[in-house]
A and B are shown apart, each in its own frame.
Chain A
Amino acid sequence: METSRTTRIALTIYGILIIAFLYLPLVSVAFASVSKARYLTFPIRRYSTGWFRDALASTEVHMLALTSLKIAVIVTMLSMIIGFFGALAFARYQWRYRSLFQKLVLLPIFFPQTVLGLALLMWFNSLGIIPSWKTAIVAHLVWIAPIATLIVAIRAYSFDPALEEAARDMGASTPVILREITLPLLMPGIVSAGLFAFLLSWGNFPLSLFTTGADSTLPEWLYAKMVSGYSPLVPTLGILSVIGSFLLVLAALAGLAIYRALRPSQ
């Protein structure tokens, strides 16, 4: 159907407004990070990149980033493994309690994260476990592993069951089928699940708040600073974090593209 000129103009304006609505806050944070002033004011009168230098040099920031990174990396790896096997149980294999499992998996996602965080904290206390960044991994997993499972399951649903049967018919045992057929075919789903897991863990605040104990992650520290003791270090770290995430996504996409390109000639 041919769209008229006015429709096209209206759609363009609408699109621009949506993008502005979504990205303007991010842009203003970026501006705040390069402001020389101590407080968040607008418009910014004098610019400085001093806060970036401070952030990159600060040992406190290094510690925070390291804690966040440790949690996110471990959560990502575990989510990919749990997501892979969870998706097989969710989408591929017929077993007795499958439909119950499909519903239970979704439950943690529906739970408000603050409530989930508090509940987990009480659970750790009653077990006598002292909360630290390690307990935060468990807390993140409770919320993120189901999401990873769903992402891999979408991929697993589009999978012809005859492929595994054919491999078995030609003499492949179950572990060989998993390695040669199932895993490579679900790989794009597993990589996306890993990406989501990393980003969700890296940026998570409510679960970390309750379950990191004496340790602190970047989002927790940012929140604490905003509540009391604001400095442009807050938006600076925010922007650095966004840039880091963005680079990670780019790296993952590039990795997937390289994997695809190399595959036929392996």
Chain B
Amino acid sequence: MPANPILRLKSVQKVFGRFTALHDIDLDIEEGEFFTIVGPSGSGKSTIIRLLVGMDELTSGEIWLRDKRIDQIPANLRPTCMVFQSLALFPHMSVGQNIEFPLKLRKIDPAKRKARAIELLELLHLPESYYDKRVTECSGGERQRIALARALAFDPEILFFDEPLSALDYRLRKSLEKELKDLHARTGKTFVYITHSLEEAMVMSDRIAIMKSGRFEQISDADEIYSRPVSRFVAEFMGEVNLFDVTAVDGQIKGTGLIALPSNATRTIADQITAARGATLMIRPEYVQFLDEGQAADFEISGRLNGIYALGSRIHYEIKTEGGQILTVEKLREDRHDGSEGDTVRLGWNADCAHVIEEAPFEGRIA
């Protein structure tokens, strides 16, 4: 937890009629951080951002911007700004007029306004000639940049983003993600970003908060969330994952079809499982190996090769275990497995690649 956060939420709650969208949210965001809130639709992430910019009122709790409480201040008097999902560019104005809009509201003189707009066009790699162009004549990626330029012209303390890339095609989105990260580094501003794509969050963010049903499930950096999720929900949110229901008795790990070779490493895992009341063993697809005759690993399981899917640089293998569970194995093209569908295969992985998710019996296991 940062010592002097730029933004602090204290037990923020939002209730719509009989539906509680946010339950007692606490959150600190650090100065200059790229913070992303990720969650499926209906998780409450849009509600949070609307509260933060002042478009909705919170039911209870407090929002602090540095040492100023802002939750009672109307949106137009808050020193924050948001890039909308629809971008909300004004269709009756030129590109230049759009960018200058926040400056015009502050009664800055036209020459200075224009100079700043041109500066921002350059910062966002748009040609100066766009100043007089109609917004409606610009492409999706260009409009994205114009919306960003307008938000930067406002010069906010914190810049909020409400899924601004969701409407773009895959390639453009990927390149804009990197550009946004680069822009964050160059401006040094605090960015708070909302998305439903954890992949997008991982590319850009310093820290990620995973939301589920109006609560934060985990707040951490990308690496931690990927390799050490706190719940099955988080583990499954980021792409393919293999999960095993496991128990441990006297240092022996038990799971359907799963064989754990006795070693110090598996012993440590067994102890973790014993300590938890219910546990799941997680292994990401890229850490699973196809074992040759005589080869051994800390964990082993056998099954039938069900399907092979080429994904370009990587290949996915789908294996059905004897217990009926479907597992995924991912290999880079250059170390692909020479086998065909229907083969019986032996899979294995080392204990240091496995992660134990400790989950209380009644939480997160409904799905």
Chain A residues at the B interface, C-beta cutoff of 8 Å: 160, 162-163, 165-173, 176, 180-181, 184-185, 263-265
Cβ contacts B54-84/A at 8 Å (1 or 0 each): 1100000000000000000011111011101
Task: Find chain A residues with CB under 8 A from B55 CB.
Answer: 165, 168-169
Task: Find chain B residues with CB under 8 A from A167 CB.
Answer: 90, 101
Instruction: Flag if B92 contacts A265 (CB, 8 Å).
Output: no
Instruction: Flag if B105 contacts A171 (CB, 8 Å).
Output: yes
Instruction: Flag if A184 contacts B101 (CB, 8 Å).
Output: no
Residue on B nearest A160 in the bound complex, by CB:
B86
Instruction: Flag if A171 contacts B77 (CB, 8 Å).
Output: yes
**Cα-based distance from A215 to B335 in the complex (angstroms):** 96
Let me know if B102 is at the binding interface, CB within 8 A.
yes
Min Cβ gap A149→B in Å is 22
Instruction: Flag if A170 contacts B92 (CB, 8 Å).
Output: no
Let me know if B154 is at the binding interface, CB within 8 A.
yes
**Cα-based distance from A40 to B86 in the complex (angstroms):** 63
Chain B 84-101 residues near chain A, CB threshold 8 A: 84-86, 88, 90-94, 97, 101
**Cα-based distance from A170 to B91 in the complex (angstroms):** 16
Task: Find chain B residues with CB under 8 A from A160 CB.
Answer: 86, 88
Task: Find chain B residues with CB under 8 A from A163 CB.
Answer: 88, 90
Instruction: Flag if A166 contacts B94 (CB, 8 Å).
Output: no
**Cα-based distance from A85 to B351 in the complex (angstroms):** 69
Min Cβ gap B197→A in Å is 21
Instruction: Flag if A162 contacts B84 (CB, 8 Å).
Output: yes
Q: Which of A169, A181, A184, A265 contacts B76 (CB 8 A)?
A: A169
**Cα-based distance from A173 to B74 in the complex (angstroms):** 10
Interface pairs (22), CB distance under 8 Å: A162-B85, A162-B88, A165-B75, A166-B82, A166-B84, A167-B101, A168-B75, A168-B76, A169-B54, A169-B75, A169-B76, A170-B76, A170-B81, A170-B102, A171-B105, A171-B154, A173-B76, A184-B92, A185-B92, A264-B134, A265-B94, A265-B132
For the A-B complex, the count of residue pairs with Cβ-Cβ distances under 8 Å equals 62
Q: Which of A169, A171, A265 has the most CB of B within 10 A?
A: A169
Going nearest first, the 8 A-B pairs with the smallest beta carbon separation are: A166-B88, A162-B88, A170-B102, A264-B94, A184-B92, A162-B84, A168-B76, A171-B105
Instruction: Flag if A169 contacts B106 (CB, 8 Å).
Output: no
Instruction: Flag if A165 contacts B88 (CB, 8 Å).
Output: yes
Contact A181 to B81, CB < 8 A, known contacts A168-B76, A169-B55, A171-B154: no
Q: Which of B84, B86, B90, B132 contacts A181 (CB 8 A)?
A: B90
Min Cβ gap B75→A in Å is 5
Task: Find chain B residues with CB under 8 A from A165 CB.
Answer: 55, 75, 84, 88
Instruction: Flag if A169 contacts B92 (CB, 8 Å).
Output: no
Task: Find chain A residues with CB under 8 A from B85 CB.
Answer: 162
Task: Find chain A residues with CB under 8 A from B77 CB.
Answer: 171
Min Cβ gap A151→B in Å is 19
Give the interface size bracket for B toward A: 20 to 34
Min Cβ gap A218→B in Å is 38
**Cα-based distance from A130 to B319 in the complex (angstroms):** 92
Task: Find chain A residues with CB under 8 A from B102 CB.
Answer: 170-171
**Cα-based distance from A32 to B140 in the complex (angstroms):** 59
Contact A170 to B101, CB < 8 A, known contacts A263-B92, A264-B134: yes
Chain B 217-240 residues near chain A, CB threshold 8 A: none
Let me know if B53 is at the binding interface, CB within 8 A.
yes
Q: Which of A162, A168, A185, A263 contacts B86 (CB 8 A)?
A: A162
Contact A185 to B91, CB < 8 A, known contacts A169-B82, A264-B132: yes
Instruction: Flag if A169 contacts B53 (CB, 8 Å).
Output: yes
Task: Find chain A residues with CB under 8 A from B97 CB.
Answer: 264
Min Cβ gap B89→A in Å is 8
**Cα-based distance from A113 to B162 in the complex (angstroms):** 51
**What 16 additional pairs, Cβ within 8 angstroms, besides A160-B88, A167-B101, A168-B55?**
A162-B86, A163-B88, A165-B55, A166-B88, A168-B75, A169-B76, A169-B81, A170-B154, A171-B77, A171-B102, A171-B106, A185-B90, A185-B92, A264-B93, A265-B94, A265-B132
Min Cβ gap B120→A in Å is 14
Task: Find chain B residues with CB under 8 A from A184 CB.
Answer: 92
Task: Find chain B residues with CB under 8 A from A176 CB.
Answer: 105
Task: Find chain A residues with CB under 8 A from B105 CB.
Answer: 170-172, 176
Instruction: Flag if B132 contacts A171 (CB, 8 Å).
Output: no
Q: Which of B74, B84, B134 has the most CB of A within 10 A?
A: B84
Instruction: Flag if A171 contacts B84 (CB, 8 Å).
Output: no
Task: Find chain A residues with CB under 8 A from B90 CB.
Answer: 163, 166-167, 181, 185
Task: Find chain B residues with CB under 8 A from A170 CB.
Answer: 76, 81, 101-102, 105, 150, 154
**Cα-based distance from A173 to B168 in the complex (angstroms):** 32
Task: Find chain B residues with CB under 8 A from A181 CB.
Answer: 90
**Cα-based distance from A170 to B159 in the complex (angstroms):** 11
Q: Which of A163, A165, A170, A180 has the most CB of B within 10 A?
A: A170
**Cα-based distance from A123 to B106 in the complex (angstroms):** 51
